[in-house]
Amino acid sequence: MQKRENWGSKIGFIMAAAGSAVGLGNIWKFPFTAGQNGGGAFVLVYLIFVALIGFSVMLTEFAVGRRRQLAAVGAFKSEDKRWTFAGVLGVLSGFLIMGFYPVVGGWALAYVFKVMGGLLNNPAAIGASFDAFITNATSPLMWMVLYLILNVIIVVKGVSSGIEKAGKILMPLLFGILIVIAIKGLTLPGAMAGMEFLFKPDFSKVDGSVILAALGQAFFSLSLGMGCMITYGSYLSKKENLVQNAAIVTSMDTAVALLAGIAMFPAMFAFGIEPAAGPGLVFVVVPTLFAEMGAMGPMFAVLFFIALTVAALTSSVSLLEVVVAFLIDEKKFTRKKAVLSSATVMALLCILASLSLGGVGPTLFGKGAFDVFDLLTDKIFLAIGGMLLCIFAGWRLKKEDLYGEITNNGTMDFPLFGMWYPLVKYVIPITIFLVAANGIRQGFESGSGPIMLVGIGIIAIFAAISKKL
């Protein structure tokens, strides 16, 4: 058997896994989702889910991946053919997330050049120019393709050389710039109202859809529920401490999300921008804030969008890697062929997603492609994928085997095993089931219910034909 590629170094793995986790989910999605879901209470529920469910599921993914040293599908299939569908579902999620993620990645890339072209000169027009840009039929498509090409180049080069290097250099830069933005935002008049919105829970705003949104956000942001961390774990050496790695990645991801919130909400309240402004939030708030900074503003803004693009890249390459690893391991593609063919399909999905923002193209139950891909993955596939993984680990794998994998055959301590195990076996599956059921029920009031049900239907079909997958 061919020796499996391994991570160049421990720090390389953490940077790559954190690079996968930290991305548009933290900086683009978290702030606008928190804004749309009422702020503080959403953030609190999100943090609870991250600590209890996110961390435990990440540890489970690392363990399941490293155990067989096989990527998402193989890790399930090699234990039990009836479970193949759980892995294939992850590959499908990879395709669908890559059906809109590069669109937003392309926006970030475009903004590097828009800022250089003088976007900040007329702060009052920043919002309108964003709307005009994303609803345009051709220009976002060009940026999306450019962004996808960057992904292809990185993933063709393979695990340790490509992904690792990108993460190592540019993650710290992003963190630093976010701190600068946060400090600037907090010193604006009226900023404290933003902190209150973000951190003071108002429980009257919590309902089934807010809770499902928080769960989905936790999974999306931590890159869980679709085999990504299984795949990354499969490249991890048997000597690594899985618990420590999962804890570090979870904390880094959460720190960046909170920092992004702190960078954005105070400034929004100071500028009188609606918290529920939606997907345009970061592309409007951040440039407006930098426009306030005078001569230094444009330079910081350019750096910010470069760092955002790179953060997005280190995430999307991990999504692409899930699909590519499946095609290489299970379908015997060469790496190059796997990357090129999957990127082509993703580009087509992205064209649909991008056009849908301008109201062009097919709809499903009244929603355009962008919303459909997001709803299916963020609200259904990732959470249910996480639920399936926990059921698989808790009920299909042996407790001793899991213990052995997590503690490196007893050579490493994990005193919390006695808590983690029942969480994975009982608490998490039941919680996800209840949250999803309640969220779908509520979704029928807002029009997203039918699409979520379609998602459940797809999972059921996959499960039924599992042995053929």
Query: Interface with ligand PHE by CB under 6 A: which residues?
Result: 20-21, 23-26, 97, 220-221, 223, 226, 228, 315, 318-319
Question: Between residues 56 and 221, which has the closer beta carbon with respect to ligand PHE?
Answer: 221
Q: How is residue 37 written in tokens? A: 């879901």
Question: Between residues 126 and 260, which has the closer beta carbon with respect to ligand PHE?
Answer: 260
CA distances from 19 to 167, 172, 416 (A): 6, 10, 26
- The answer to whether the beta carbons of residues 226 and 61 sit under 8 Å apart is no
The DSSP code for 333 is -
Nearest to 381 by CA among 85, 32, 70, 118: 85
Question: Between residues 221 and 356, which has the closer beta carbon with respect to ligand PHE?
Answer: 221
Closest residue to ligand PHE, based on beta-carbon distance: 25
- The answer to whether the beta carbons of residues 372 and 364 sit under 8 Å apart is yes
Nearest distance, CB of residue 23 and ligand PHE, angstroms: 2
**How far is 441 from 437, CA to CA, in rounded Å?**
6
Nearest distance, CB of residue 99 and ligand PHE, angstroms: 13
Q: How is residue 397 written in tokens? A: 């794998």
Q: Which residues of 153-173 are buried (b: 16+ CB within 10 A; e: fewer)?
A: ebbeeebbebbbbbbbebbee
Q: Give the pairing type, strands 367-368 and 363-364.
A: antiparallel
Question: Between residues 19 and 449, which has the closer beta carbon with respect to ligand PHE?
Answer: 19
Nearest distance, CB of residue 282 and ligand PHE, angstroms: 12
DSSP string, 386-434: HHHHHHIIIIIS-HHHHHHHHTTTTTS--TTHHHHHHIIIIIHHHHHHH
Nearest distance, CB of residue 363 and ligand PHE, angstroms: 24
Nearest distance, CB of residue 227 and ligand PHE, angstroms: 8
Helix (H, G, I), strand (E, B) or coil at 368: strand
Nearest distance, CB of residue 24 and ligand PHE, angstroms: 4
Nearest distance, CB of residue 163 and ligand PHE, angstroms: 12
